[in-house]
Amino acid sequence: MENQTNTEMHQRKGRRLVLFPFPFQGHINPMLQLANILHSQGFSITIIHTNFNSPNPSNYPHFAFHFIPENLSESEASTTDLAVLVQLLNTKCVEPFHDCLTKLLSDVEEEPVACLISDAIFSFTKAVAENLKLPMMVLRTGGASSFVVFTAFPFLRERGYLPIQDSILEEPVVELPPLKVKDLPTINSRSPETIYELINGMVDGARASSGVIWNTFQDLEQSALANLGQQFSVPMFPIGPFHKCFPASSSSLLTQDQSCISWLEKQSPKSVIYVSFGSLAAIKENEFLEIAWGLANSKQPFLWVVRPGLTNGLEWLEPLPSGFLEMIDGRGHIVKWAPQQEVLAHPAVGAFWTHNGWNSTLESICEGVPMICMPCFTDQSVNARYVSDVWKVGLQLENGLDREKIERTIRRLMVDKEGEEIRGRILCLKEKANICLRQGGSSSESMDSLVSHILSIET
């Protein structure tokens, strides 16, 4: 058996996979984790990446990197309108990506390319791959449950749920329980039509691909995966959670402040609230202050990631009264960016106040850390509803942010019996995440199918 496995591995050597991450932190991490997973399965890996937001290639000496000029102007690269930025990248990358891939395919010194794996948000890649007669699979970096909602967008528009109207925010979306209208995954943009185009492009691209890879696992999203399996005729490979195989620290775009760990060492078990809203979310100055005072008044120790630019119009901590941390007896530690996976795995961490980006949600589940959910946009609100109402492993902070509500929610999760029950449930999910990756587990089996599939689709 072992000999057979070694022979198969040997045969796979000489096959190259080209991976194309979307250049946002929450997309780069899972794509590079996937690259490591596929490399460990015997494939050679080439990464095509934009110059914009590029990770450090020296952390990946075992991969070949090719950088393409996306030619964003300074104002385009710094726009806060994410929908517009995503669309610009989808337009401006077409030519340089096509040229780069053409060169790679014609390089006779290199191993033959078996397949392109593109982030699903880069929907233009399907046409390029077709033009070059290269099979293409997509990686969807978000969850399957939120993707089901994306596939329903045409219907949601037809029924008048979208565009979202303030008067019906609390109404249920009866066709997609337990979602409410306010949970529908949209984003503020000066060009709402752009959002629909991007989402349709992503869904159609996945539908027309040679297969969809998911950073999720069966026991977590069984019904969404089954739903998508019925809608899509292409194979689905839920092989997550990726970060349990390879950590994300090497693809971090910001330096992770290791002082978090020495500070956590001094705290009691399960006492600390870890607060982070990921790489893109932005809040208003008054919200920043309510968060600060809510944390201070909760009397729990807290580790807070305040990413530069988190608060609209501010550099970093300007609105905090001077001496804020001393005033609360050093019960808080604030950093610009944390080694999140290590933090969540630390025994001192008792809760994660998160924006529910998919990576953060999975990372929390895998460490058995209950969540306080404060989604900001796109898939985050669907993820948060699943955390609070389906998996019941967290509490939502909804309908405005004030310090009393924050203090109450922290108490419910960290002190009350309700919190204990929530912790029990997330520990069960953590165990399921561990099991799915073991030999015979659903993700491990799906990984074997993925390898066979890649070998069967190559030209």
Q: Which residues bind ligand UDX (CB under 6 A)?
A: 24-27, 29, 141-142, 248, 252, 256, 276, 278-281, 305, 337-338, 340-341, 357-360, 363, 378-380
Give the nearer residue to ligand UDX in terms of CB position, either 43 or 304. Answer: 304
Closest to ligand UDX by CB, 135 or 370: 370
Closest approach of ligand UDX to the CB of residue 161, in Å? 20
**Residues in Cβ contact with 457 at an 8 Å cutoff, skipping those fewer than 6 apart:** 114, 115, 135, 137, 210, 211
Cβ at position 143, least distance to ligand UDX in Å = 7
- Closest distance of CB 354 from ligand UDX, Å: 7
- The DSSP symbol for 333 reads E
Q: Which is nearer to ligand UDX, 214 or 337 (CB)?
A: 337
* Separation of alpha carbons 335 and 306, rounded Å: 6
Pick between residue 100 and residue 433 the one whose CB is nearest to ligand UDX.
433
Here the tokens at position 229 are: 């399996």
Q: Nearest distance from residue 222's CB to ligand UDX, in Å?
A: 20
Least separation in angstroms between CB 158 and ligand UDX: 25
Nearer to ligand UDX (CB atom), residue 238 or residue 357: 357
SS (H, E, C) 2-18: HHHHHHHHHHHCCCEEE
127, two tokens: 């046409």
What CA–CA distance (Å, rounded) separates 156 from 146? Answer: 14
Please state whether beta strands 302-305 and 272-276 pair in parallel, antiparallel, or not at all (unpaired): parallel
Q: Which CB sits closer to ligand UDX, 310 or 406?
A: 310
Distance of CA 408 to the CA centre of its chain: 28
Residues 6+ positions from 262 with CB-CB distance below 8 Å? none
Largest Cα–Cα distance in the chain?
Answer: 66
Shortest reach from residue 261's CB to ligand UDX, in Å: 13
